[in-house]
Amino acid sequence: MASLAQRPLRTMSKRHGIGVRATEDPNTVYIRNSANTYYYGDLFLGTPKQKFSVLFDTGSSKLWVPGVYCKSPACFQHNRFHPKMSSAFQNLYRNDSITYGTGKINGMLGSDTVYIGGISLYNQKFIYTTEQDSNFELPGSCFDGILGLSFNGDPSIDDTSPISSITKQRKLQRNVFGIQLSDGDKSYGRITFGRVDDSLYKGKMYWFPVVEKGSWKLMMDDINYEKPNIKSCTEFIKKNRALENKQSQNKSGNLDKPVHALIDSGTSFILGKWEVINKLNHEIGADINTGFISCSKINTLGMLIINIQGILFKLSSKEYIYHNKITNTCQSALIPKRDLSYWVLGNSFMGKLYSVFDFDNHKIGLGKDLNY
């Protein structure tokens, strides 16, 4: 997770419980859409089980939930973990903290049984917070904590991440998970553990190697804005490499060289190099200081094209412009960052894809969502 919030535009919706949704697959977890920005689902901690709503985050590696001893206002509106109420809890007598782009959490490290769908992780380490920054945007948010779906550094020595526990405890037939997001506030997407669900995408699944073990980063070649033409629907195509090379001689891209890009379900938007993002926002007509753009322009805009190793992903304006229906304002989902050494492709990019993360073979699969 690069950041919980990138622009101060959103008003978080009121807290909702997910409830139980029927599924034939116990390793499928349904995740609820909050205003097309965050996606959160349920897990359980302890014996007996204590329920928490968590954001499933491919950009971080640790699990944390608010603790009963947390005195920060951000904790009071959420479910809090009670160590003394779980017979399986073990206090590890260590402090731990996590810093995100918008704030920091501090807490104690413990271990307990964690239940994610039909998966039971025994002696799973997690943080139960004692302090959460007031600017962390958790007060009034839809989720209690965060479940990291990346590794904590080198996978061979990682002993804290849930993904590492899933691997070491041999919980799945295949060490993969897939994420299908949904479109529309309060609608449901899903996370599938242990298999690639071929019913959730159409066409070909394109696989890309990760650029460093322990992180869901791949190599991105370029990102460009294409002015509107007759064809305006969202596309997902593989371009003929020979034709692409020929065209690249006549058209310069925005990136001088390929860059690392994190596929991040914990970030709402697309974060990238300051100069490039400002150029793209200028081309689409958004204010380069605030990102605001007239909502009346959305249907007149062209495609944002992201080139990942020769595969072109085309995003329509409805994907790279965020429409806040509460305030009826619109903002670009392209966020300039000066301090990031890599790009972040968040939910604006993942929204129309079924994204698969293979942590045995260290690769990411991207296929077009069957619903689009």
Round to the nearest angstrom and report the end-to-end CA distance of the chain.
Answer: 26
CB 194, CB 176: distance < 8 Å: yes
Question: How far, in Å, CA of 35 to CA of 32, rounded?
Answer: 10
94-106 b/e with 16+ CB inside 10 Å = b? eebebebbbbebb
Element (H, E) at 203: strand 201-209
DSSP, res 233: S
Structure tokens at 32: 């609820």
143 Cα distance to chain centroid: 14
Instruction: List the catalytic residue out of 221, 264, 358, 369.
Output: 264
Phi and psi for 113 in degrees, rounded to 5?
A: -85, 130
User: Does the annotation count 264 as an active-site position?
Assistant: yes
Instruction: Give the DSSP letter of residue 81.
Output: B
CA angle 243, 220, 310 (to 5 degrees): 20
Which of 42, 57, 96, 369 is labelled catalytic?
57
Question: CA-to-CA distance for 225 and 307, rounded, in angstroms?
Answer: 11
> 261: Cβ–Cβ under 8 A, 6 or more apart, which residues?
217, 218, 219, 220, 308, 342, 343, 344, 345
96 is catalytic: no
* Tokens encoding 276: 């490039």
DSSP-assigned beta bridge partners for residue 176: 358
- Separation of alpha carbons 276 and 332, rounded Å: 14
Measured in degrees and rounded to the nearest 5, phi and psi for residue 95 equal -85, 150
Q: Which two tokens stand for residue 204?
A: 């070909």
* Catalytically active residues, by annotation: 57, 264
